[in-house]
Amino acid sequence: MAGFPVTKTNYDINSIASNSERVQCMQQGFVYRENHRSPEYNDGRYWTMWKLPMIGCTDSAQVLKGVDEAVKAYPTAFVRIIGFDNVRQVQCIIFIAYKSPGY
């Protein structure tokens, strides 16, 4: 993963997973629209999902493996990690885990 030391990334993901049973969800970012009538406005709420949410995942290595798979499949995309609180059903944290080298 370019730009992030592995130890810091592992720590960040572990702290999300061990705090109040939050769940991570990985997304990559290009919105595909077909036959839409809405304007080209996108404030970041609509990112395309990469696989299914990692519900109950507490292992940072599993999350990083998913990030690497997403980067391998979409090397020019942004990869974003979102942490949710599974009790309150709200988003708790969000950060970009990968951005393409040319950006």
- pLDDT for 84-100, tens place per residue? 887 888 888 888 999 98
> What are the phi and psi torsion angles at 13 (to 5°)?
-70, -40
Q: What are the boundaries of each domain within the chain?
A: 6-98
Instruction: Say which residue, 48 or 91, is predicted with more confidence.
Output: 91
Distance between CA atoms of residues 88 and 63, nearest Å = 22
pLDDT averaged over every residue in the chain = 72
Distance between CA atoms of residues 57 and 5, nearest Å = 21
Banded model confidence at residue 67, pLDDT cuts 50, 70, 90: very high
Which of the residue ranges 5-19, 22-36, 72-86 has the most confident prediction, judged by mean pLDDT? 72-86
Stretch 58-81: mean pLDDT: 90
- Count of Cβ atoms closer than 10 Å to residue 84 Cβ: 20
Instruction: Say which residue, 46 or 32, is predicted with more confidence.
Output: 46
Amino acid making up residue 48: T
Give the right CATH number for 6-98 from 2.40.110.10, 3.30.1370.160, 3.90.1150.10, 3.30.190.10: 3.30.190.10
Is residue 68 within 8 Å of 56, Cβ to Cβ?
A: no
pTM of this prediction? 0.54
